[in-house]
Chains A and B, each alone.
Chain A
């Protein structure tokens, strides 16, 4: 793993970009990594474009500025692709992970993208089938650790279960659905 891995999450208010950025950070912390997970707070409202960030490192993280050159971009909502450049600041060997029913090749063509690596997974459908709501954040975490190897699937599942059991106390079906979603996206994510 790189010394410092920076991830930018593009979502819309209500899709759980902030939650994903922080859940992934927490999970990475649970396996001994140093982390930061933070949203960009603007005038948020349901449906408006939002950004969130995750930093993961093997060493303590000192910087407290915005992430401007993320190695990884996660797009929670493909309609955001028409709303500006999600690849801004992403280096040539960076990674774009998109929640879509299309293949990486189709997305590359649609985005007229050169360089970088494109991955896709239909996280909304997975969420709908496992959790019952099209909230794509947890499945995208599964896809992300498959691509990056930040941590093992088991470690992610274990930590996610712990965190969600607190958040959704008394609703084990929600926790179970989320864990299934993580596992399915881990298996179904496609790269070029």
Chain B
């Protein structure tokens, strides 16, 4: 039984955390932390969860304490954003290499400098090679749904990787929207009881070592196994999505292809901008223009083959990046999608639009401009500018 309510993105993520009811949450509950842990700490104070809430002195310590808790054999979570994730950095990698199935909501916000607090994907794009599974959400509904699914994905015996679930800062985190929520019991049943995959650190009868020294003798085998786990995560993500779909009626995949089957012009984008772009697709379709949209949900593991398959027959493709990689050749999503297309049966022209940095608004006119540019590329077959900056003073 589902209930339809109105919540902000932060409230929706906090509610999902409450329903997951983890054993331990460690957090640094002031800026740059989010309202998520503030709301969650109320649940703890009110006795609505069984969670042990550990307040720590920094985000670095928050991730360290979460790693410690997870290694001791319990379900552990935290949440972060922006500079907070930046400060967690070294421990983020340790969580992944120790194969700890930590689940963490991340509110995507810009990194300093200049100082900025708004929606931007620079924080988690920086963590794209850390070994975490990364799932992006368009709206409050997806943020809620993805967080619940993330628990099952991270803890799956074929995966055992930490998982971050993103939503756009302010645009979603502070915006109230409708969503359908599950009952506490249904969420509990879906995520199931936590089963430690190896003896707890506190189990003195079965001693284990977590986080040992491994030099050129074994380090590479650890990394090889991480890579294998990440590759295997794709099937698990789809399996969990299927089961979640049966429970809720809401379908999830590695990405959502909207009117893409017969599209000539395609945009590939993450998170909240996908909704704005979908409106423009509808508008263009009414005019007989074959526009389509691919909203990527899972960025890690990156669905190379699946993307290449659905994008190969398009006449022109625009990638939209809410982060720059400063490679001097576009944003991270652009680079990856282009790499994916190298082995495609056809290679349509692909251009990049870096947009919305530091929370800059991207409206219907911006998206219309991208499709207009694509129409011109499709017509002439010529690309004049590969990497573009949308809505910027030049």
Do A and B pair up? The answer is: yes
Residues of A at under 8 Å CB distance from B? 22, 25-26, 29-30, 34-39, 41, 61-66, 68
Q: Do A38 and B279 have beta carbons less than 8 Å apart?
A: no
Q: Do B364 and A35 have beta carbons less than 8 Å apart?
A: no
Q: Do B6 and A64 have beta carbons less than 8 Å apart?
A: no
Q: Do A29 and B361 have beta carbons less than 8 Å apart?
A: no
Q: Which of B118, B168, B176, B275 has the most CB of A within 10 A?
A: B176
Q: Do A62 and B276 have beta carbons less than 8 Å apart?
A: yes
Q: Do A64 and B178 have beta carbons less than 8 Å apart?
A: no
- CB contacts under 8 Å to A, within B174-190, are 174-178
Q: B313 to nearest A CB, angstroms?
A: 25
Q: Which residues of B contact A63 (CB under 8 A)?
A: 275-276, 279, 364
Identify 8 new A-B residue pairs, CB closer than 8 A, beyond the known A22-B176, A36-B175, A62-B279.
A25-B6, A26-B176, A29-B5, A34-B178, A38-B174, A41-B118, A65-B362, A66-B361
18 contacts between A and B (CB under 8 A): A25-B176, A29-B178, A30-B6, A35-B6, A35-B176, A35-B177, A36-B176, A38-B176, A41-B170, A41-B174, A61-B177, A61-B275, A62-B275, A62-B278, A64-B175, A64-B276, A65-B364, A66-B363
Q: Is the interface of A mostly helix, strand, loop or mixed?
A: mixed
Q: A84 to nearest B CB, angstroms?
A: 18
Q: Do B175 and A37 have beta carbons less than 8 Å apart?
A: yes
A25 to B6, CA, bound (A): 8
Q: Which residues of A contact B117 (CB under 8 A)?
A: 41
A82 to B135, CA, bound (A): 46
B294 sits at the interface (CB 8 A) = no
Q: Do A64 and B118 have beta carbons less than 8 Å apart?
A: no
Which B-chain residue is minimally distant from A37 (CB atoms)?
A: B176
Q: Which residues of B contact A66 (CB under 8 A)?
A: 361, 363
Q: Do B361 and A65 have beta carbons less than 8 Å apart?
A: yes
Q: Which of A26, A41, A62 has the most CB of B within 10 A?
A: A62
- Ranked nearest first, the 10 interchain pairs of A and B with the lowest CB-CB distance are A38-B175, A29-B6, A64-B272, A62-B275, A37-B176, A65-B363, A26-B6, A66-B361, A22-B176, A62-B278
Q: Do B176 and A64 have beta carbons less than 8 Å apart?
A: no
Q: Do B175 and A65 have beta carbons less than 8 Å apart?
A: no
Contact A68:B363 (CB < 8 A) given known A29-B4, A36-B177? yes
Residues of B at under 8 Å CB distance from A? 4-6, 8, 117-118, 138-139, 168, 170-172, 174-178, 272-273, 275-276, 278-279, 361-364
Q: A191 to nearest B CB, angstroms?
A: 28
Q: Do A65 and B276 have beta carbons less than 8 Å apart?
A: yes
A62 to B277, CA, bound (A): 8
Q: Which residues of A contact B276 (CB under 8 A)?
A: 62-65
Q: Which residues of B contact A34 (CB under 8 A)?
A: 178
A30 to B278, CA, bound (A): 26
Which A-chain residue is minimally distant from B170 (CB atoms)?
A: A41
A29 to B177, CA, bound (A): 9
Q: A35 to nearest B CB, angstroms?
A: 6
Q: A152 to nearest B CB, angstroms?
A: 18
Q: Which of B117, B175, B272, B276 has the most CB of A within 10 A?
A: B175
A25 to B7, CA, bound (A): 10
> Number of residue pairs across A and B with beta carbons under 8 Å?
60
Q: A26 to nearest B CB, angstroms?
A: 5
Q: Which residues of B contact A41 (CB under 8 A)?
A: 117-118, 170, 174
Which A-chain residue is minimally distant from B7 (CB atoms)?
A: A26
Q: A95 to nearest B CB, angstroms?
A: 22
A1 to B273, CA, bound (A): 26
Q: Which residues of A contact B272 (CB under 8 A)?
A: 64
Q: Which of B6, B178, B275 has the most CB of A within 10 A?
A: B6
Q: Which residues of B contact A65 (CB under 8 A)?
A: 276, 361-364
A34 to B279, CA, bound (A): 15
Contact A64:B5 (CB < 8 A) given known A29-B178, A41-B117? no
Q: Which residues of B contact A38 (CB under 8 A)?
A: 170-171, 174-176
Q: Which residues of B contact A36 (CB under 8 A)?
A: 175-177
A63 to B279, CA, bound (A): 7
A127 to B177, CA, bound (A): 28
Q: Do A64 and B174 have beta carbons less than 8 Å apart?
A: no
A36 to B272, CA, bound (A): 13
Contact A64:B364 (CB < 8 A) given known A25-B6, A35-B6, A38-B176? no
A65 to B390, CA, bound (A): 14
Q: A137 to nearest B CB, angstroms?
A: 15
Q: B183 to nearest A CB, angstroms?
A: 19
Which A-chain residue is minimally distant from B9 (CB atoms)?
A: A38
Which A-chain residue is minimally distant from B363 (CB atoms)?
A: A65
Q: A3 to nearest B CB, angstroms?
A: 12
Which single member of A22, A26, A30, A64 contacts B171 (CB below 8 Å)?
A: A64
Which A-chain residue is minimally distant from B273 (CB atoms)?
A: A64
Which A-chain residue is minimally distant from B174 (CB atoms)?
A: A38
Q: Which of A26, A35, A36, A61 has the most CB of B within 10 A?
A: A36
A29 to B7, CA, bound (A): 10
Q: B219 to nearest A CB, angstroms?
A: 43
Q: B18 to nearest A CB, angstroms?
A: 15
Q: B82 to nearest A CB, angstroms?
A: 14
A36 to B9, CA, bound (A): 11
A38 to B177, CA, bound (A): 9
Q: Do A35 and B178 have beta carbons less than 8 Å apart?
A: yes
